[in-house]
Amino acid sequence: MPNIPQPLDPQDDGSAAPAVAAALAAYEAGTAGPAEVLNVLGAARLLVPVVALLTETEVGAHGLRQEKESEMALPKLVGQDGRQAVLAFTGTESLARWRPDARPIQATTLQVCRAAVQEQAAAVVVDVAGPVQFVIEGDVLAALAAVESGTVDRLTGVTVAKVTPAQPKPKRRWFSRKPS
């Protein structure tokens, strides 16, 4: 039986955190760089989308094809070059802009980065449909995925903004790949 993780914050209303929205707006305006955005995202909750994936259909009593089985899946963005990215959203509004039928799962930025690396994705794309798109990739993605807790100043030659989680969170796998 699948394990559905408990929310990070049961009182979360799904809104983007004001500090995150402000950092992304400053980034878009050119008054803040990626380090400032990463600094704010490091302590933020993101929403990872899951969508229903039809796995089996059947013909019903009235001769119409109907759903028999479906699974929840983590959608990935695939670039023209074949690289994959995990999607994350700052709030339910930005998630609905991308796909209104997607369901949000709360995760920290560090959890999302770890999951992206585990899934062999090249990037995490935050708010792919706006209002401000932000990409975490390359050595920064690898560095954030390697963080267990605390702060990071330098890791394998990459300078990363200080990342301080709001509170230590229990380790959870928030999705897994079905064995082939």
CB atoms within 10 A of CB 63: 6
Residue 176, C-beta contacts closer than 8 angstroms, at least 6 positions apart: none
For 163, counting Cβ atoms within 10 Å of its Cβ (0-12 exposed, 13-18 middle, 19+ buried), the class is buried
Contact yes or no for 49/98 (Cβ under 8 A): yes
What does the pLDDT read at residue 148? 59
Per-residue pLDDT of the chain (180 residues; tens, 9 = 90+): 344 455 567 778 999 999 999 999 999 999 999 999 999 998 899 999 988 766 666 677 777 776 666 567 788 889 888 899 999 999 999 999 999 999 999 999 999 999 999 999 999 999 999 999 999 999 999 999 988 544 444 444 443 333 334 444 444 433 334 444
Structure-derived torsion over alpha carbons of residues 120, 24, 166, 128, reported in degrees to the nearest 10: -30
Of residues 115, 89, 117, the one with CA closest to residue 103: 89
What does the pLDDT read at residue 3? 47
What does the pLDDT read at residue 157? 43
Length, in residues, of the chain: 180
Determine if the pTM surpasses 0.75: no
Contact yes or no for 101/129 (Cβ under 8 A): no
